[in-house]
Structure 1
Amino acid sequence: MLGLTLREEFQGRRLKGTAIELANENKTGATQIGAAKFLDITYPTADVVAAMEAIGPGHGQPVVLIGERGQGKSHLLAALYHGFNNPDVTSGWLKGWGVRLGQPKLGEIELRPKTHVISESLHRQNYKFLWDLVFDRHPHGSYIKGKWEAQGDKRTDIPGDKLLVELFQHTPTALVLDEFQTWYDGLTNTKQFPWRVWAFNFIQILSEIAKEHPELLVLVVSVRNGETEAYQQIHRVNPRQIDFKGPNARRDRLRLLLHRLFANRSQVPEQQIEATIAAHVSEHLRLAEAAPADHQRVRVDFVEAWPFAPHLMTLLEDQVLVATQAQETRDLIRILADVFKSRDVNSPIITAADFRLDDDKSGIAALLDSVSNQHHASLREKAQRNLSAVLAAVKDPAQNVPHLADIVGALWLRSLAINNTGAEPAELHVDITRSKPVDDNFFSAELSTIVENSFNIHQDGSRLVFREEENPQAKLIANARNDRLFGDGPDKLNDRQQLAREVRYVIGGTESAARAFRVVVLGANWTDEPWSGVEEVDLPAHWDDRIPLLVVPEPPDRVDARLGIWLKERLQRHRNAVRFLLPRDASENLFYDRDLLVLARAVLLAERWKTHNPEYSKLHTKYQRELRGILKRRFDRFAILATWNFQSPSQCTFHIESHRAEGAQIPESVDGLVSKNLFVSEDFDALVLAAAQQNESVGRLLRELQEPRPGGEDCIPWLGETLMKEKLVKICARGEIAINLRGMEYLQVRGGEDEETAWRRMRGKLGTGKHLDETYVLLPQAVPHSEGVLPPQQPEVPTRNDGAGGRLPLWPQPPGADGIPGPSVGAGPGPISTPPGGSIFGGGGATTTVRQLSTAGATSALNLLGKVESWGITPGTQVEDIQLKVANLTGAQLNDLLKKLPDGITYELTLHKEDR
């Protein structure tokens, strides 16, 4: 710092006391050391000069120093002592300062010739009565004391003025009394011991002698204020008052401080100081928005206060040390000496930011010792915890909050102020500015980070202030930003699960959405561990008939390929039933978006803490509303499978559509778009008709619809079990299929029934669960009636008159057309009736109906069992002429089939064998 050096007494590790003692047992008091040595640490303030003039020859006034403790009264009394006792040295000191300050009148001040001095710090209580001090220290004191005591019955309670005048005529004296008020106020004042009254009368006599015989006695006393009884008698004689409150008192005190602290402060050139602090001063003028007319004055103030910033000196003197137990100048010297020793060697100026909470040597210990205020100490502990909280919460503090300790220290110091408590952001910005400016945007971001992660910083209008009580919002956010509190460990809070819960609520939280859709938020690593962190009830093994809406945490690259591979590797069934909800392009992964995580953490913590403080209930509502407001707009697209390629899933294709909905409206909006734009009714109808030809169960049909169609065919979007069953029943109501309800009832269009009437009659009858596996779809002509299977409708045949009043076909009819059954057509079951007697050629006996039943084509063994059951064949039903046709078998399969044929029955076997 330009070679600036502290005085020797401030350089040690343990700072010596700065209090001035007039005398002590160690002979190191201010009046016991050489005049030159003492005056070397004395600056000629206006008060010092005024006091020196007041004690000169020809001045007939007592001198009274008025000021609270620590303002420099004792120091000034010691300077006056040396002025009386060593006038030559003191005159030389005044002349030297006159040259240095360019004030030659200082050297012209006339001092008394060497005068006997009696000085005492009365608070030491070495003397019970003031006259004892005078008699004890005056060369002629013993004689006058004896003369007073020899008066016998005529002796007065206190020495009279004649005796005192005689005393001072013998040896003119300067009586210098420090802490006069403290001594006086401690005197007893009763009828038995009226010592205060005696002291009051004695000081009155001394004051009058000093006024009337200034050549004999100069009276100099110090008091804390001018309102006490101790001062009243002196005040009657119109003393010369030194009150440390003159127009230049502040500037004088500043110069006194700097002179007292530093051995060579006056030797540092002002030009070098200006260059050193130029950046700081420039930023101060800019941020304080100082008027151009004030710029030069401000620059002068900075140079005069250097190495301390004038705004720091004002803060300490007018706001922190005022109205406390601090002894102003005395304690301020100790504080400033400490902070100077702890400064950064490259720091061009000392500001409030140099009072670092992480370093007790930075003047804070001296400050707390000086003010003796528990509030200040408690607030310091709070600020230290806030400092630790920010360090714990912020990643890479050196990069993101490099001025953390400076800002927190400056804010703490400014929060001790009596008025204008706390600091404007601009003031903190100036405090941390050293040799180069700090970027405004960077500072704003850094300050915001500190405030958000501190829980004792309150916003008071535009000012920030540390307070002992916690700021619920700041504490909540500070903890929410602390990454160490959250994670997957047993002692951690799971912020990702909370975020997933919020997403599920935002999208599927309404009653209607919850009934129809299952919203599942995939994990952060959704491509490799999609079910990590997903609640047990939402895993695929527990899916019910609700449509799965899978929320993808980040926008996939190459959507078709990524989702196709994901379906093959991460989902084993219901691949055609799921719908993917995708976030906006360029969005960050949901679980790595720090802003969203912090909000989710705030919601989680506020929920836990609201039972202890109702303020957290309000914050819970606030941050949950903010988080949900962001989430409901985050997912703007959906994807649904279009074509499937199991062998090469990267070749799968998806329909990707914008749903233009927010929050809870998304599921129904997506469902509406799928139903209206992507569901092709003709494809569904064709699939159902094919199933009817195979007599498939409804349960199997629905399960097949939830899986992709093979062979690159367009997938039929799954609309949910309820809607799919409704569409199935509507096909039945159009007469295109019939439905066998578990062998108990057949759903089929009745004669003369329109589609709407049939739909109202049939809807809601399919059932659910296992019943669907016992319900089959079939063609209408395969429905059995009371006399067999309903025969297919025959076309109307033209006829001619047979000449006998009857009608004959216009042309010959095929067998069976005239009522006589012909051979059965293999593809369609039809009845063959025999006349009475059991023969088509006549005979008696009951009529027997024989039906030929066959499948429409090759199918699986499971389907054959279903067909047999649908044909009404029970264990007791007699069947005959069974033909089972198998296209091809291996020898092993044939042997296995023959082994399972029942015993006691004969079989014929015909096959074609390949010879090689």
Structure 2
Amino acid sequence: MLGLKLRQEFKGRRLKGTAIELTNKNNTGATQIPAEDFLRITYPSHDVLKTIEASGPSQGRPVTIIGDRGQGKSHLMGMLYHAFNDQTATRKWLENWSDLLGEKAIKALQLRDGLHVISASLHKQRYKFLWDLIFDNHPHGSYCRGQWEGQGDKKTDIPSDEILLELFKHTPTALILDEYQTWYDGLTNTKQYPWKNWTFNFIQILSEIAKEHPEYLVLVVSVREGNTDAFQQIQRVNPVIVDFKGPSAKHDRLRLLLHRLFENRIQVNDDQIEKLINIHISEFFRLHDTPPVEQDRLRTEFIEAWPFAPHLMKLLEDQVLMATQAQETRDLIRVLAALYKKNGQKASIITAGHFRLDDDTSGITALLDSVANQYHAKLREKALRNLEAVRDAAAGTRQELPNLERILSALWLRSLAAINQAGADQSTLHVDITCDIPIDDNAFQVELTTIVENSFNIHEDGNRYIFREEENPQAKLIASARNDRMFKDEEDIDHLTKEIRYVIGGDTDVATRFRVIVLPQAWQTDPWHKMDEKDHPDHWGDRIPLLILPQTPEKKKDLETQLGTWLCKNVQTHRNIVRFLLPRQESTNLFSDRDLIVLARCVFLAQKWKSQNPEYRRLETKYQKELRGILKSRFDRFAIISSWNFQHPENCQFLIENHKAEGNKIPDAIDSITREDLFIPEDFEDFIMEAAPNNESVGKLINELKEPRPGGKDCIPWLGETVVKENIIHLCAQGKIAINLRGMEYLQQEDGETEDKAWKRMRGKLGTGKHLDETHILLPQNVPTTGGASSDPDKPAGTDSTGGQSWKDSANGDAGSAGGKIQDPSIPGNHGTDSGDGLGGSSNPGPGGIFGGGNSYTTHSEPATSALNLLGKIENWGVGTGTQIRSMELKISHLTGAQLQELIRKLPDGMVYELELEKENNA
């Protein structure tokens, strides 16, 4: 990328440590390598130049370097060591940087010459006392130690200022003490071992010598804080303080980092950089709505921070590493080196989005090692599981999420920041994933929404998103609901079905009058296999079945073909009672609608988890309300059979109507439309009037009305048994028919009686069940003139005391009488006969009477075949459940005694049977 070269030490597969030590056992410490090599990785920051100046020949104050771990104190001390020991290399380094930066003051700095340098990293605890360090490493140290120790009883606890002054006069010295505070704070300070007090006094002596005799001693000490006892005695002499917190410290540290990482960063042309990252900068300005007055300054910051985005550097330095007490510059170098190695040759600019959660080589490992915080490691594990959950959800919907990894990675990194800065808003995340190609706002919004909805550890805090270790109940619920692998047993489909049934038929009144059934996905091929047995056709009872279809074709003819074929194949009886509830034409298949499925899953899981966390109870209510709101208006039409064709069910015709209702109002709306608009009273009256002359039972008529009318006739919509009986009573109250109540009472309109009065008198008398089979309708003129219930069950109603019976002649309406036993004409099959008055004929001829009329019968037969084929044949013959059969003969050859017994056991009760068989004699 623009010829940028990472330093050799960072190119290996394993990233070497970046900590600077003055010395180490491998002889690679700052003071153990040539000055030229060490200065090559040193940037002349303000703090470096200030330290060189403070330790120059014209200065007379100790130098105290204050900074937390990893900020570069040791590096600065190593540079100072080489400045004292190798003036030639240091001078060349100053002049080179003076030319590069165009600052003449750099080469004008004066260097001290002729100093003996003693340096030590005190935290390694190689010396108990500072004077041992000095005496052991000074050319005149042995002599001065002898003077001090040879004082006998006059020997002081610490060497005196006179001895030390003699020492430094002999050989002027630069004393460089790194990690002084760490060492000092670990000293014992008891009455027996008051070592801390001794050191406190000794450092005061050194400070005063450095101030009063700078030509003999240069004292440089590093501490972490400026308010500790370790610093107090040095502070008394007004030292030069280098604290890494000056106004230019941050800017210098950025340049120091880039120089430390790259061999030639300063040589890359700014114009080339600006051209390379112009799209990212422009998107940054647009998304953050940056005022024009700020844009030039920010553009300069982008160029100076390249190849890293300045917002990434700020995030790492000011928020992540500081919040986690990492070793700042030292750890930041390691993190940035790993990040650049992974992305430097591909990305025009490196942002927070380039930390890949699922790739340890992207800088993640170096970052986690730096923060050394178990919470953040766990947070990464949570984020990785969220990443997997989103991938699964996207795979289930085949949705493209091109920026998934970068969005989640950027959000995770920003969630490591200090509490009040943790997380990121939408614009920040958008910038984090933008490099050299702009990303459409709408596409990004959709992608981010999908990620948030399917990530159960992302929380919303105002306008910011943030990863947290604790789960977000709503996000977890949605993420789990979108995971198809959690619902392999179709619990989601079952719950959606339950919700639909509740929405349409949940009302108690509706449930008592209608059987709401949601047909499965495979409704056309296998509707009943997985369905509760109570929903099978033979368990519908008296309730009207309202069958809900998952999807319907757009064309009416295709729908009619599907429904007719389905009825013929899957419902064997009472086909006329079925209603089909249809979804809107533009809607997708009920069980393929991803939104509905996810909502149903949310409700199902919330119900399952609400005992663990009360928040799920609230979410159950929320998503259930949303789901039911959609379902209420999803089904806008219904279908009812209009014309039946058993031979060619694909040619059946249906009435398809809009009901204009929602939810549990739909069944009543369908019922109302069927009664008021589809049910034609005249057709019903014609049907009843055709049956009246034949004295048909009410039970038979009801069974016939439950079936589609044969022969292509228009079907009479089924309104339910109660309504049918009420309509029959109304016809009776109007005087159009009479009703024989089980041979015990006749219902008919009385002379001068109004319809309303007759209705009130008759209603509710028809009964139910078997009573309907014993109750018959007849024409009013066929009601006996005298009647009443007979106490003799063998004596027909209406028989007078002489054994005769009177009735109205069906032809002229005159009353007639006959002697002898004459059967009641209101009972099917009982036909009155003359007793022999010489006139002949029948007063109420039955089948085959001399005047014709009555029932007509057609004979059908079928050669020997299977029971299944016979069922098909009798349906072809038009034999329904209500069809009257005068006689039936069933021939069976070659059966066993067991089969015969089983056959007889299955014969219906209430009839008598004649049996004749040929039995083998040896059986």
TM score, norm. by length of structure 1: 0.87
**CA displacement, residues 640-659 of structure 1 (integer Å, 9 cap, x when unaligned):** 22223334444433222221
Give the structure 2 partner of residue 381 of structure 1.
381
Alpha carbons 2:783, 2:808 under 8 Å: kept: no
Distance 1:557 1:264, change over 3 A: same
Q: Given residue 247 of structure 1, which amino acid in structure 2 is its aligned partner?
A: P
Q: Which residue, 503, 508, 523 being the options, matches 1:526?
A: 523
Q: Distance in 2 between the 1:185 and 1:565 partners?
A: 93
Shift of 1:820: 9.7
List aligned pairs for 1:812-823, cutoff 5 A.
none
**Residue 397 and residue 156 in structure 1: after superposition, are their counterparts in 2 closer, same or farther (change >3 A)?**
farther
Deviation of 1:839 after TM superposition, in Å, equals 8.1
Question: Cα distance 1:397–1:852, how it changes in 2: closer, same or farther (>3 A)?
Answer: closer
1:854 aligns with 2:861: no
CA distance in 1, matches of 2:240, 2:814: 149
Task: Give the Cα–Cα distance (whole angstroms) in 2 for the partners of residues 72 and 543 of structure 1.
Answer: 85
1:567 Cα offset (Å): 2.8
Give the conservation status (yes or no) of the 8 Å contact 2:782–2:825: no
SS in structure 2 of the partner of residue 520 of structure 1: strand
Q: Which amino acid aligns with 1:705?
A: L
Match of 1:460 in 2: 461
- Cα root mean square deviation, aligned: 3.0
**1:802-857 deviations in whole A, cap 9, x for unaligned?**
xxxxxxxxxxxx99989899xx9x999997887xxx9899xxxxxxxx98652442
- Alpha-carbon distance, 1:71 to partner: 0.5
Could you tell me which residue of structure 2 aligns to residue 786 of structure 1?
799
* Residues 1:734 and 1:139: Cα distance change in structure 2 (over 3 Å): same
In 2, distance between residues paired with 1:123 and 1:831? 130
Equivalent residue for 1:909? Answer: none
1:541 to 538, 543, 549: 538
Give 1:163 deviation, angstroms.
1.4
For residues 831 and 651 of structure 1, do their structure 2 counterparts lie closer, same or farther at Cα, with a shift above 3 Å needed? closer
Contact 1:94 1:106 in 2 (8 A): yes
**Cα deviation, residue 410, structure 1:** 1.0
* Residue of structure 1 equivalent to 2:676: 676
Q: 1:64-75, aligned counterparts within 5 Å?
A: 64-75=64-75
1:422 aligns with 2:423: yes
Counterpart of 1:449, as a letter, is T
Q: Which residue of 2 aligns with 1:558?
A: 555
Hey, what's the Cα distance between the residues in 2 that align with 1:335 and 1:308? Answer: 12
Runs of 4+ in 1 over 4 A off after TM superposition: 396-399, 814-821, 826-834, 838-841, 850-853, 900-903
Distance, in Å, in 2 between the alignment partners of 1:320 and 1:58 is: 42
Contact 2:807 2:815 in 1 (8 A): no
Secondary structure of the structure 1 residue equivalent to 2:808: coil
Deviation at 1:582, TM superposition (A): 1.5
Q: Which amino acid aligns with 2:799?
A: S
Name the structure 2 match of 1:96. Answer: 96
3-state DSSP class of the match of 1:143?
A: helix
How much does 1:450 deviate?
1.1
Shift of 1:114: 3.6
CA contact (8 A) 2:781 2:809 kept: no
Aligned length: 838
Matches within 5 A, 1:289-438: 289-343=289-343, 345-395=345-395, 400-418=400-418, 419-438=420-439
Query: Amino acid of the residue matched to residue 538 of structure 1?
Result: D
- Name 2:230's counterpart in structure 1: 230
Deviations 1:344-394 (A, max 9, x none): 732111111111111112211111111111111111111111111112222
Cα distance between partner residues in 1 of 2:914 and 2:858: 14
Question: Is the 1:57–1:111 contact (alpha carbons within 8 Å) kept by the matching residues of 2?
Answer: yes
1:128 aligned partner, one-letter code: K
CA-to-partner distance for each residue in 1:319-339, whole Å, 9 max, x for gaps?
111143311101111111112
What amino acid sits opposite 1:641 in the alignment? I
- For residues 286 and 815 of structure 1, the distance between their equivalents in structure 2, rounded to whole angstroms, comes to 100
1:611-690 to 2 correspondence within 5 Å?
611-690=611-690
1:394/1:482 contact within 8 Å kept = no
CA distance in 2, matches of 1:462, 1:587: 34
Aligned to 2:768: 768
Match of 2:494 in 1: 497
1:229-273: CA deviations, max 9, x gaps?
111111111110000011111111011111111122122222222
Q: Distance in 1 between matches of 2:615 and 2:914?
A: 80
**Cα distance in 2 for residues equivalent to 1:902 and 1:422:** 90
Is the Cα contact below 8 Å between 2:643 and 2:653 reproduced in 1? yes
- Which residues of 2 match residues 114-193 of structure 1 at below 5 A? 114-193=114-193
Further displaced range: 762-771 or 142-151: 762-771
Deviations along 1:764-797, one digit per CA (max 9) or x if unpaired, are 22222233223222222333423355532799xx
Query: How far off its partner does 1:403 sit?
Result: 1.4
Distance in structure 2 (CA, Å) of the matches to 1:707 and 1:396: 45
**Match of 2:216?**
216
Q: Alpha-carbon deviations, 1:740-772, whole Å to 9, x = none?
A: 333333333344433223222222222222332
Structure 2 unpaired stretches of 5+: 785-797, 848-852, 860-884, 892-912, 917-923
Is 1:781–1:789's contact at 8 Å kept on the other side of the alignment? no
| Secondary structure in structure 1 of the residue aligned to 2:368 | helix
Quick one: distance in 2 between partners of 1:214 and 1:100? Answer: 32
Mapped to 1, the partners of 2:274 and 2:191 lie a distance apart of: 66
Counterpart AA for 2:447 = E
CA distance in 2, matches of 1:398, 1:580: 33
Note the 1:550-589 alignment, pairs <5 A. Answer: 550-560=547-557, 561-562=560-561, 563-589=563-589
Q: CA deviation at 1:180?
A: 0.7
From the superposition, tell whether residues 515 and 399 of structure 1 become closer, same or farther in structure 2 (CA, over 3 Å): closer
Write the distance in 1 (CA, Å) between the matches of 2:397 and 2:99: 53
Q: Is the deviation greater in 560-569 or in 73-82? A: 560-569
Distance of 1:564 and 1:649 partners within structure 2: 5
In the other structure, the counterpart of 2:607 is 607
Q: 1:102 to 1:741 in 2, by over 3 A?
A: same
Is the CA contact 1:783–1:790 (under 8 Å) kept in the aligned structure 2?
no
Residue 559 of structure 1 aligns with an amino acid whose one-letter code is K
Name the CA distance, whole Å, in 2 between partners of 1:44 and 1:97. 7
The DSSP-based 3-state class of the residue aligned with 2:459 is: strand
Aligned AA for 2:547?
L
Does the Cα contact within 8 Å between 2:344 and 2:350 map onto a contact in 1? Answer: no
Aligned to 1:811: none
Q: 1:728: how far off?
A: 1.1
Is 1:509 equivalent to 2:506 in the alignment? yes
Deviation for aligned residue 1:622: 1.1
Cα displacement (A) at 1:666: 0.7
* In structure 1, C-alpha distance between the alignment counterparts of 2:344 and 2:45, rounded to whole Å: 31
Change (3 A) 1:344 1:711: farther
Task: Rate the CA distance shift 1:156–1:431 in 2: closer, same or farther, 3 A.
Answer: same
CA distance in structure 1 between the aligned counterparts of 2:397 and 2:188, rounded to whole angstroms: 63
Q: Is the 8 A contact 1:639 1:654 kept in 2?
A: yes
Give CA deviations for 1:77-104 in whole Å, capped at 9, x if unaligned: 0001111111121111011001111112
CA distance in 1, matches of 2:831, 2:538: 45
CA deviation after TM superposition for structure 1 residue 139, in Å: 0.7
Helix, strand or coil: the match of 1:667?
helix
**Matched letter for residue 792 of structure 1:** K
Between 1:584-593 and 1:650-659, the stretch displaced more is: 650-659
Residues 435-474 of structure 1 show CA distances to partners (whole Å, capped at 9, x for unaligned) of 2011111111111111111111111111111111111111
Aligned-pair distance for 1:902? Answer: 13
Whole-Å Cα distance in 1 between the matches of residues 608 and 396 of structure 2? Answer: 29
Q: CA–CA distance in 2 between the matches of 1:120 and 1:387?
A: 49
- 1:482 corresponds in structure 2 to 483
Output the amino acid matched with 1:70: G
Change (3 A) 1:126 1:636: same
Stretch moving more, 148-157 or 564-573: 564-573
SS in structure 1 at match of 2:222: strand
